[in-house]
Structure 1
Amino acid sequence: MRRTALFVTALVALAVALVSCSSETPGDATSGDGDGTSVQIPTEGGDSETTEPPETSESGTGSADSLEPCELFSSDDLAALSLTGGQEEELAGARVCLWQATDNHTVSAGVWANLGIDDVQSKTPPEPKTVGSRPATQYTGELGVCVVALELTETSRVDVTAAAQGDLNKACSIANQAAELVEPKLP
Structure 2
Amino acid sequence: MVSKTGMRSLAAVAALLSLVVSGCAAKKQGYAEPETSPSSSLDETHTSSSNPSSSIGSSIDPCELLSAEDLAEVGDFKPTYKEQGGARACHWQNSVKDGGDGFVFAVSVRDSQSIETVNDEGGGIREDEVNERPSVVTGDPKFDDCAIVMKLDDMSRVDVTVPGDPGSDNSCEVAKVIAGMVEPRLPDIP
* Alpha-carbon distance between aligned partners in 2 of 1:93 and 1:179, rounded to the nearest angstrom: 20
Alignment identity in percent? 28
Local SS of the residue matching 2:148? strand
Paired with 2:168 and 2:135, the residues of 1 have a C-alpha distance of 19
Tell me which protein shows more strand as a share of its residues. Answer: 1
1:120 & 1:148 partners in 2: Cα distance? Answer: 10
State the TM-score, normalized to the length of structure 1.
Answer: 0.69
Pairing 1:79–2:72 present: yes
Partner of 1:154: 154
* Residue pair 1:60, 1:153 contacting (<8 A) in 2 also: no
Task: Quote the residue 1:47 is aligned against.
Answer: none
Higher relative contact order (CA 8 A, sep 6+): 2
1:135 counterpart residue number: 134
User: For residues 151 and 78 of structure 1, do their structure 2 counterparts lie closer, same or farther at Cα, with a shift above 3 Å needed?
Assistant: same
* Unaligned runs of at least 5 residues, structure 2: 1-33, 95-99
Structure 1 stretches of 4+ with a deviation exceeding 4 A read: none
Query: Radius of gyration: which is bigger?
Result: 1
**What amino acid sits opposite 1:65 in the alignment?**
S
- Paired letter, 2:91: L
Q: What is the rounded CA distance, in whole Å, between the counterparts of 1:119 and 1:179 in structure 2? A: 19
Change over 3 Å in CA distance of 1:118–1:138 after alignment to 2: same
**TM-score normalized with structure 2 length:** 0.68
Deviations 1:34-86 (A, max 9, x none): xxxxxxxxxxxxxxxxxxxxxxxxx751x201110111102332224435111
Give the gaps of 5 or more residues in structure 1. 1-6, 29-58
Residue 96 of structure 1 aligns to a residue in which SS?
strand
Do the aligned partners of 1:126 and 1:138 also contact (CA within 8 Å) in 2? yes
Are the structure 2 counterparts of residues 105 and 151 from structure 1 closer, same or farther at C-alpha, using a change threshold of 3 Å?
same
Is contact 1:147-1:159 (8 Å) kept? yes
Q: Tell me how far 1:179 sits from its aligned partner.
A: 0.1
CA gap of 1:72–1:144, structure 2 versus 1, over 3 A, is same
Q: Secondary structure at the match of 1:143?
A: coil
Q: Partner of 1:9 in structure 2?
A: 36
The CA RMSD over aligned residues, in Å, is 2.4
